[in-house]
Structure 1
Amino acid sequence: MNSKQKQSKKRQLIVLYGHYCWWCGYSLKENQLTIEHLYPQSRGGSNTIENLRLSCFKCNNSRGNSLYPPNWRMGNCF
């Protein structure tokens, strides 16, 4: 995705899910949210809105290409 496409997807996700990290539930400003692939691209995941969520940098970065962040437990990863 180019930067224009990312910004458009991010706005769509904010409308759908709000300004929250999908994994830990923290409320964040738009510029603190990263686009997260539920099913990682390295495992064949797509850039469709159904496969994308918003997350904080910590959850997104710690997850790598696993399906869940380390220590993730029902809505709270840290």
Structure 2
Amino acid sequence: GGNKNEMLRRVAQLKESGVQFISLLALDDGGAPAYDHQLAAQLAGMDVPAFACTPDKFPDLMEAAIKRQSFSRFVSRYG
């Protein structure tokens, strides 16, 4: 629920102020997210990474995101 347009407006404001925004879609052993694909695409268009992962890979994935490293490199390493 919630107001998607307001959320997107607020995300844009946060990013403009220098905040690094990351969207975690799922954190579970299956790493299988259920999410709003259109909203995720809008966030991606704002350069907001969105991902799902298992708990054991989460620290490395967050490190890659914080360091603004290529997610393709992470995926090639962990699959």
Give the TM-score, by structure 1 length. Answer: 0.28
Larger RCO, structure (CA 8 Å, separation 6 or more) = 1
* Higher alpha-carbon Rg: 2
